[in-house]
Chain A
Amino acid sequence: MSSPPSPSPTRWFKALRRTRIEDVCLKSGAAACAEVLKRARAAFRAGRTAQDSFRLAQLEALVRMLMEHECDFVDALGRDLHKPRFETVMSELMTVKSEALHTISNLKKWMEVQRIERSWATAFDECLVVNEPLGVVLIIGNWTSPLQLCLVPLVGAIAAGNCVIISPSETCTHTAELLHRLIPAYLDNECFHSVVAAAHEIPEMIDLKFDHVFFFGDKENGIKVAQAAARTLARVTLVLSGKNPCYVDSQCDINTTARRITWARFHNAGQSAVAPDYILCHVDAKDNLLQALRCALLQFYGTDPRESRSFGRMVNEEIFNKAKDQLWRSGKVFIGGQVNDMERYIAPTVLTEVVESDPIMQQDVFGPILPILTVQDAEEAVAFINSREKPLCVYAYSSNDKAISKIMNETSSGSFCLNDSVLQSVMVGMPFGGVGASGMGSYHGRYSFDAFSHKKSCLLRTTRIECMAYLRYPPYEDRNLSLVSLASSLNLRSQGWCTIL
């Protein structure tokens, strides 16, 4: 099956001008959502998602959808984000596929009832933790990785036995339309739906009452989502973008560091919530780092990145203008800095002499711009990082154990990665999520399953063994209380204490 090559800049742009947004017809808004929510609830109540066979079938269908329509997805993401085919396949399609396959092979195990240690008073009882689905889950996708950020949580929600309504980002119209068309063709039509809504319509959608809301996006909208969820007591998982610091030590393999940072910062033209946002470079490493970055950029995108088929564009005017503004009003351009308004192109740019008050340090960066600040040592880097809100990721590049320890142990973030970036956010076995201002809850693999389940504790007793229980009944006597206290203390050393209660 031959796939279309990555769109060349001029071809892509001509295609963009041809497509009119009105051509794309989507179910949108809160009204449409109310209708599908009703259907999803009915399907859930009828128990459609209860069996593991159903969930496995849906997950397998999802994998088939990705494989059979790879060309369509590459095309859609190419139109929306000018995403090179390589990036679409690796960071969007393969990520979701890995997640789905991992979930498929582990689902039965995850669904098993967990048996809890029994004490001698509950020796005749069964103590279990059962994983129950929550009901109907709302997943709000994001434009930076429109497929992955919708479908990876979807895998978890399906695995946990919920019905799901996904809301792919309206910013990526072609991807949203494609998902909207394909989902009913592959997944159960009553349980899973797709609705597109503008950012301001989302709180209204949440007010319709969901059992769990998953949101990946910026802090401002995250708070609005959380406020709407609070009104209906819906649980939330929020993964919020912020400024991810990246410390580069004087002791590190500078060339590899530069290559890895370059890859992480400039893929998808810098439009990523997990890319290193700014570098805190050790004063001794700065010059080497800058040279190494220059080499890496040349190696990756050639002398004119605008001609490179491996480099993307800004998704829309708003993001483009914001990035341009940050670029022009912060620090000094060391590499890059060129822009092209017609194509919404910004060259991969490295800024030096950046200070904390610059616009680029005050807002999230969604563009191929890498500001570099200088620090004296790891200590200063830690102080800088801790003076700001807890980010989604903290990165450090170093071979020095002391510096590594310092950065890892004295900062707090959603996740941490040493000597690389972004990878820790796609590992299926690791929880990915934020803390503090970068969000709450986590997902991926087993953690997704847990996020979208309710752990119901169950104690199954029998009425036949009444002998123990009588000690707890009134009339309360000191003698009984002593016996119970004794029994409790006896078991303190072994696992679980005794409850004769």
Chain B
Amino acid sequence: MQDSYVATNLATKLDDCFVRREPLGVVLIIGAWNYPLQLILSPLIGAIAAGNCAILKPSEISQATEKLIAELIPKYLSQECYAVICGGAEETKTLLENKFDHIFYTGSQSVARCILQAAVVHLTPVTLELGGKCPCLIYGRLDMKAAAKRLVWAKFFNAGQSCVAPDYVLCTAETREMLLPFIKEALESFYGSEPQQSPDMGRIVTDRHWNRLVELLKKSEGKVVIGGQSVKETKYIAPTVVVDIKESDALMQEEIFGPILPILTIKSLDEGINFMNEREKPLALYAFSDESQVVKTVLERTSSGGFCSNDGIAHMTLPGLPFGGVGASGMGNYHGRWSFETFSHKRGCMLRGWGLERVNVLRYPPYTESNLSWLRWATTAKKKGWASCSVM
């Protein structure tokens, strides 16, 4: 919260120049259903820290959590400053007609566009945390067993319903052949031979989402090599791996958001990188390799919200790292200090004194050549260490 001082220069040595972070006002935080607590409370922490009041709109799809948040927040936080509003699409639309000082939204691209349209009318800044198809490139020399374990953990955590879950894998045919047995092994060690019986395997959130996933799997022209089973009553889909996927496959047309992992084959690193670059910038991009050159190349030649090598999801758990998207995967970021900055306004403040008026006089009319020469001399920026002088 401290003001950050700005280097002063020749003409402003007697002045105070600093940046102060001011609260914006009332912030609207719209949560999502996949991590219903974290995605609404984590931004709330930032909003509170920056000195704002907040209105929370938890996702109506995760009903039990929504109810719990609505019940508990007024009990623990100031009721005047923080409120919880529950409702679906219609209620959210009405809510958005009000003017907020910042809107924080986690969710899908299509809804994000509506929110942006409602926000711009009031000139409200927006932070959007959207999804996208997070690619996972596996290339070169690597410890297959460890890589498979981490990939499987990241993909099937929360039954694949994470905005940063590796959506699809790109690897060579040889890598794939070596990887598949390790994936099977990892799945067995995590969820046993019958994942449906495992208490640690998640379920799909609603019937509608379950139907969508089952449809995708049906339409896919790939070959199911692991899993593929589904049970409607319990909204269960087995951890599934599909190979021989082409770019035009149904599974490649939208974000999967489920426990289905397509594996596409590439012949070279370049092909993999070009494939990823032709698509929209994702929220996260993963590269598994023990060759640091491979990792470096992927990091430098692709763009994404965040990047993680040899693991999945982990990069978003560190509060020191900014978490956010770019391009189609969103705008703005948060977590830790970044949240504080997101929910603050950086106000440049300059406190001048009455002194140095003799220097100031140079800038006043009537304009003369000699004054101009003096000012030119004074404002020629010096080398390192000096911010440029503005006597202007």
What is A's interface to B at a CB cutoff of 8 Å?
6, 45, 84-87, 89-91, 94-95, 97-99, 101-102, 105, 116-117, 119, 122, 127, 129-130, 132, 134-135, 211, 219, 222-223, 226-227, 229-231, 233, 235, 238, 240, 253, 256, 259-260, 263, 267, 299-302, 308-311, 399, 404, 408, 412-420, 422-433, 435-437, 439-442, 445, 447, 454-464, 466, 469, 472-476, 496-497, 499, 501
- CB contact list, B90-139 vs A, under 8 A: 101, 109, 112-113, 116-117, 119-121, 123, 125, 128
Contact B146 A458 (CB under 8 A): no
Given contacts A105-B383, A461-B310, contact A233 B321 (CB under 8 A): no
Contact B321 A85 (CB under 8 A): no
Residue in A308, A426, A463 whose CB lies within 8 Å of B150: A463
Q: Nearest residue in B to A102 (C-beta to C-beta)?
A: B388
Contact A223 B123 (CB under 8 A): yes
Given contacts A129-B322, A418-B351, contact A463 B142 (CB under 8 A): yes
Q: How many angstroms between the C-alpha atoms of A426 and B387 in the bound complex?
A: 12
Chain B residues with CB below 8 A from A231, complex form: 113, 117
Contact B317 A499 (CB under 8 A): yes
Contact B390 A427 (CB under 8 A): yes
Minimum CB–CB distance for B329 against chain A, Å: 9
Contact A455 B322 (CB under 8 A): yes
Residue in B149, B309, B357 whose CB lies within 8 Å of A460: B309
> How many residues belonging to B are interface residues under a CB distance threshold of 8 Å?
97
Contact B149 A473 (CB under 8 A): yes
B6 within 8 A of A: yes
Contact A496 B123 (CB under 8 A): no
Q: How many angstroms between the C-alpha atoms of A116 and B316 in the bound complex?
A: 13
Q: Nearest residue in B to A45 (C-beta to C-beta)?
A: B277
Minimum CB–CB distance for B131 against chain A, Å: 13
Chain B residues with CB below 8 A from A6, complex form: 367
Q: Nearest residue in A to B292 (C-beta to C-beta)?
A: A460
Minimum CB–CB distance for B113 against chain A, Å: 7
Minimum CB–CB distance for A31 against chain B, Å: 25
Q: Nearest residue in A to B364 (C-beta to C-beta)?
A: A263
B143 within 8 A of A: yes
Minimum CB–CB distance for B196 against chain A, Å: 14
Minimum CB–CB distance for B133 against chain A, Å: 16
Minimum CB–CB distance for B57 against chain A, Å: 20
Contact A415 B351 (CB under 8 A): no
26 A/B residue pairs, CB under 8 Å, sorted by A:
A84-B367, A98-B381, A101-B388, A105-B381, A116-B318, A127-B318, A132-B303, A231-B113, A233-B109, A233-B128, A302-B366, A412-B345, A414-B347, A418-B352, A419-B351, A419-B354, A420-B350, A424-B348, A431-B348, A435-B24, A439-B123, A440-B123, A447-B346, A454-B303, A454-B326, A474-B190
Sorted nearest first, the 8 A-B pairs with minimum C-beta distance are: A86-B367, A98-B388, A310-B365, A457-B321, A459-B315, A430-B348, A230-B116, A474-B200
Minimum CB–CB distance for A414 against chain B, Å: 7
Query: What 8 additional pairs, Cβ within 8 angstroms, besides A399-B354, A417-B349, A464-B146?
Result: A267-B365, A419-B353, A420-B352, A431-B348, A455-B322, A455-B333, A463-B290, A463-B310
Q: Nearest residue in B to A417 (C-beta to C-beta)?
A: B350
Contact A423 B390 (CB under 8 A): yes
Minimum CB–CB distance for A113 against chain B, Å: 10
Given contacts A102-B381, A429-B17, A459-B311, contact A117 B320 (CB under 8 A): yes
Q: Nearest residue in A to B115 (C-beta to C-beta)?
A: A230
Chain A residues with CB below 8 A from B360, complex form: 259-260
> 1/0 per residue B35-77: CB within 8 Å of A?
0000000000000000000000000000000000000000000
Chain B residues with CB below 8 A from A445, complex form: 387
